[in-house]
Structure 1
C-alpha cells in the first residue's frame, strides 16, 4: 500500500511582525525560521529566512520566500533532501480575522459551528461547558450560555432556521437551545459516555448522535424520543469517535417509515471506531451495510464525506485515507501527516480539498485528488495553538477555526 508523506512545516509564529517591522522601517533587516519535518519529533531542516529592503526600497526575502497577498505567503523548498521534488512549493495562510478576547486564554474552545447564511454568526463551546455566540467579525459576543453543560462541550450544530442550536458534551447530554431567548426546551439523555458528534437530518426534525459508548442514536426533536440505537454488530461496545452523514440511493425494503422520522430515506451514517474499524448503517432500514477493517491498527479519530461515493478518514497515528465506497478492499490513497500524532479533524470542500488539523500548529489544506507526488499543500498558521474544530462557510469560502488558549480565527482560503 503506497503511502504519501505530507511534510510538517512550522513557521515562526510572529513572522508577520518581523516582516512588518522591516516594511515600516523599524528595523533595517530581520529574520525568522521555517522548520521542515516529516514528523513532530524529527527536525530534518531549519531554514532561516532573511528580510531586508533592496536598493529600490523594495521588501526582499531570501530562500524563495515571497508575499502573495495580505494573508498569503509562498515558500519553495529547492533541492531539499527532505522531499522528492526539486522544487516543492507550499503556501502559508494567516488569519484575516482573530478574536482578541483575552478572557478566553484561560480556556480551550473545543467545538465550533456557524450559521447557514452569508453574514454568519459563530457559536463556540469551551472546555468549561459554556457556549458563546459571536458576530460575523468574531469581534463581539452576541449571547452567552454560561454553564450550558456540566463538562466540556464536544460538538455543536446550528439548525437551518438559524434560530436553534444543538449541543453535545462530555456530560453525556444533548441539549436544544433557542438562540432568540436562550431557552433550553429539551435535553436528550441515553448515552453512557461522551457525546462525540452530532448531525442534523435535513431541516433538523431528526438528528443523530454518536458516543464513546459505541452507539449512534436517532432522535426526534419534538417528542424527545430515541427512535433507534445503532451499534457495531461484531462489538457493540466499540466506542465511536467520529461520524459523517451520507446521502445516496435507497436500499430496497418493504418496511414503512416511522411516523416520527423525516428525511431518513436514502441517508446513511459512517462511523469511526476506537478499534480503527469503520461501519456504515442505513438510517431508514436500520441495517449495518458494511464494515471496513482496521487496516492501520490505530483508532479512527476523524471522518468526513468527500463526495457521493467517497469518504476520508483520519487516525490516531497520523494516517489519512481516501476510500471508494464501491470498492472497500483497500483505500484509494493513503497519506501520513505528523506521524504518531492524532488527526483531530477533517473537513472537505468542493469535492477535492481536505482541511486537516493535527497537534499544535499543524493544520493543512490540500487537494487530495492530485497526482501522486504532486500535492500542493497549504499551511494554516495559528500561533502555536491547536485547532480543535473548524467549519467552512460554503457561501463565502471562509474557514472558521477554534482551539486551545482561546483560539478563534477566520481564514480566507
Structure 2
C-alpha cells in the first residue's frame, strides 16, 4: 500500500518523546507496571519483593507496599484506586489499601501467583497460580467485599486442561475471562463452570507473555516469545493484526486515541553479553495497528524490556526493564499533531 508507506515515513520523523523520567526504586528486574484508571499513579513490582507507587507526571515515589517474601510477579489496581492486588513467588495473593499501604488480606496457595486482574466493575479478581511441584495450574476468581475490608474466599476455581495459563483478564461479558497459555493458545473460559468456551490454538507459536485489553474490551493485544504481537477480537478470538519482529517479546500495549501498538522485549541477558545495545533490541517499538508497519523506536534500557504500560489518556507511556529501571516518556506535541490516517478524519 503506497499510502501506508508514505504515512509510515512521515510518522518515523514525527514520533517523538520528551526526555524520559527515570524511576530508580527497584534493585532487581521489573516484572510488571500498571497505571491506575486516572493515570496519575504508576504501580510497579519487581524481583526485589517490593511494590512501589509513583506520581506518573514527575516520577516522585509516594511509597511502597512491603510484605511479600519473593518475586512479585503481578499487580493490578481497581478503577477507584482504592484496592491493589499483587501476586508473588512466595505463593501469596495480597490485597492492599492503596491510600495507606496497609495489607488487608493474604491468600496462601501451594504455588506462585503469576497473574492477577480486576474485573471492569471492580467486584472480582482473577488470579493464576503456577503449575509446579505436582500441583496443576489453577485459575481462581474472588468476589471482593467492597463495603468492608475487601476480604473474601474463592468464588470459583478450576484448572485449564492441557497447556498452563500464563496471563488472564476479564472480558466485557459477565463470567467470561480470556487466558493466554504456554503453548501460544488463547482461550475464553466460563469461570462459573470452568469450561473452555472457545479457543484459538494457533494464536501464537510460543509462550504468551502479556495480554492487554482495549478500553472497551472489544479487542486485545498479546505478545509472545514467538517474536510477534497480535491483536485479537475478544468475541471470536480471531487474529486481526500481526506485528512480527526479530526478537522475543515480553509485553505489548495499546495507545489510546492513536492507532499504535507498543511492544518491548529483547534477547535474554545471557545471550547478549557480547553484543551491542542495538543488537540486543532493547527498544520500545511502535507499530501502526492498521497498516501493520513499524513507525518508530525509543531506546534507553540496558537489557530486555519486561513490561510496558500506556497512560489511560495516551499522553505518556512507561517501560520497565531487566536493568531495574522504569522509564516514563511523555509524548511531545508532534506526536499529537501527526495524522496517522493522512487527511482522513476518524470519529472516536
Which band: TM-score by shorter chain? 0.7 to 0.9
- The partner residue of 1:356 within 263, 272, 278 is 263
Alpha-carbon shift at residue 228 of structure 1 (Å): 0.9
SS at match of 2:155: strand
SS at match of 1:218: strand
Q: TM-score, normalised by structure 2?
A: 0.75
Contact 2:172 2:218 in 1 (8 A): no
Counterpart in 1 of 2:225? 316
**Bigger radius of gyration among the two:** 1
Contact 2:185 2:204 in 1 (8 A): no
Instruction: Number of aligned residue pairs: give it.
Output: 299
Where in structure 2 are the equivalents of 1:107-256 lying within 5 Å?
Answer: 107-117=28-38, 120-146=40-66, 148-190=67-109, 192-213=110-131, 214-222=137-145, 223-232=151-160, 234-235=161-162, 238-248=163-173
Q: Distance in 1 between matches of 2:183 and 2:289?
A: 25
Q: Distance in 2 between matches of 1:364 and 1:301?
A: 16
Higher-strand-fraction structure: 1
Alpha-carbon shift at residue 95 of structure 1 (Å): 5.0
In the superposition, relative to structure 1, how do residues 138 and 346 fare at CA in structure 2: closer, same or farther (>3 Å)?
Answer: same
Alpha-carbon shift at residue 208 of structure 1 (Å): 0.6
In the superposition, relative to structure 1, how do residues 141 and 292 fare at CA in structure 2: closer, same or farther (>3 Å)?
Answer: same
In the superposition, relative to structure 1, how do residues 280 and 326 fare at CA in structure 2: closer, same or farther (>3 Å)?
Answer: closer
Where in structure 2 are the equivalents of 1:321-400 lying within 5 Å?
Answer: 321-324=230-233, 331-338=239-246, 341-350=247-256, 352-359=259-266, 360-370=281-291, 375-395=293-313, 397-400=315-318
Counterpart in 1 of 2:196? 288
Q: TM-score, normalised by structure 1?
A: 0.64
Contact 1:196 1:240 in 2 (8 A): no
In the superposition, relative to structure 1, how do residues 312 and 179 fare at CA in structure 2: closer, same or farther (>3 Å)?
Answer: closer
Counterpart in 2 of 1:18? none
In the superposition, relative to structure 1, how do residues 369 and 205 fare at CA in structure 2: closer, same or farther (>3 Å)?
Answer: same
In the superposition, relative to structure 1, how do residues 163 and 292 fare at CA in structure 2: closer, same or farther (>3 Å)?
Answer: same
Q: Distance in 1 between matches of 2:212 and 2:175?
A: 15
SS at match of 2:239: coil
Alpha-carbon shift at residue 368 of structure 1 (Å): 1.6
Q: Distance in 1 between matches of 2:301 and 2:234?
A: 37
Contact 2:31 2:47 in 1 (8 A): yes
SS at match of 2:103: coil
